Amino acid sequence: MNVFSYIIQLGASVMMPVIFTIIGLCIGMKFGKALKSGLFVGVGFVGLGIVTALLTDNFKDPLKAIESLFNLNLSVFDMGWPAAASVAYNTAVGALIIPICLGINFLMVITKTTRTVNIDLWNYWHFAFIGAVAYFVFDQSLAWGYFAAIICYVITLVMADLTAEKFQKFYNLPGISVPQPFCQSFTPFAIAIGWLLDKIPGFNKLNVDAEGLKKKFGVLGEPLVLGVIVGCIIGIVAKCNVKGVLSLGVTMGAVMELIPRITKLFIDGLMPISDRTKEVVDRKFKGKKVHIGMSPALVIGHPTALVCTLFLIPTYIITAVLLPGNEFLPLASLAGMFYLFPMMLPYTKGNVVKTYIVGFVTLIVGLWFVTNMAPDFTKAATAVYVQTQDKAAHVPDGFMAGSMDFASSLIGYAIYALTKYAKFFGAATLLAIAFVLMLINRKRIVADERASNATN
């Protein structure tokens, strides 16, 4: 624990460059290239702190004013994925999550319980985040933290395998799967709700030309402009003066524009490591069928994703205000709305109406997830801020911390709720689910290999 405490006190902006440089060297990268990759990641964490501080410093007072004026209870501040990632990587769980998960991935590949080799290293923060929350729920228990993270990883790898065929066919990306738990959490909703909607006579005829609508939105489809509009509306509702309204508009626009740009810093840092890992995988598993686990960022530009995001943003905000039992008002998370859709679209077949309905239902459920997890998210963020002074983890006074990004995920919330409220029974349930999923997947893989060998 003393070693972990020392590492954590360095902060993610220092700790992660060191870790990624070491990982790069271990997989055969030259020192200079590995160091550059690590430094890009460190600079990204510095940027996250700046953007999060920009959001919290400027919006905490207007949101308090809105609460007071309309007698609302929106006490969960949207910290966005920057805060979740900061909590994830600034804990003892996050410090070793990547090498541990890579080891588990290797074991699952050789035991034929998965075909996915997850080289989407940046999104390992999702596994670290649920592990970090469990770590603080159980009084800084590493055992519970790693248990939650590993269970999430195993379930996600199997889900990536089970959805790979449809994903590859829809996007024409052979050999690729998406082992990202936030996106995979929406697959069950897409299957179940899609099945119900298909029972409605004539529903499949209700579709919209996504490409045409995308062109019609023009500049309104830009995250920057959407952010300015949302920020100005908040300023008007909070009864700010003209300067205050415009300032909030530009600030929210800056947040919506800067978060994707900072994300690119992480991708620039991690892509060389991912590419080198792919080379190693191709060499080690030559002749065997494997899926390369990649970021869903590959496909977020689909026209249906853009159109549904534009329609969902206003309805999401209005629903958050009116929904009984919800205390979360989405702000920073709006920049991540595109990530709802990568695994939905192969099952809704790009149908705009169906995708919008599935997205809306999942967001409603997600609001309750975020609200319920907020006290423990806040506990984790506060502890991280005290130890590291990382501004991305600083929760504004009078608020709790929340984020649509993964906190509203079905997989993440199920692990959180089962471990917190059912403890050992919940842990046993999660182990059983993971074990059954691995057995089902192994049966599929073995059968496919036998069929392939018989053909050859």
For 412, the enclosing helix (H) or strand (E) is helix 410-455
Q: How far is the C-alpha of 386 from the C-alpha of 6, rounded, in Å? A: 13
- Residue 378 tokens, joined: 């806040």
In degrees, to the nearest 5, what angle opens at C-alpha 446 toward C-alphas 444 and 449?
105
pLDDT at residue 80 in the model: 85
Residues in the chain: 456
pLDDT at residue 209 in the model: 67
- Residue 167 tokens, joined: 């994903």
pLDDT at residue 328 in the model: 94
Task: For residue 355, give the DSSP letter.
Answer: H
In degrees, to the nearest 5, what angle opens at C-alpha 302 toward C-alphas 299 and 306?
120
Place of tokens 């449809």: 166
- At 421, the amino acid letter reads Y
Beta bridge partners of 291: 116
- Residue 377 tokens, joined: 């998210």
- pTM equals 0.85
Regions of the chain where pLDDT drops below 50: none
pLDDT at residue 266 in the model: 77
In the sheet that holds 328-329, the strands lie side by side as 328-329, 76-78, 400-402
Domain boundaries, the chain: 64-218+284-455
**Could you report the per-residue pLDDT of 45-74, keeping only the tens digit for each?**
788 778 878 888 888 888 888 888 888 888
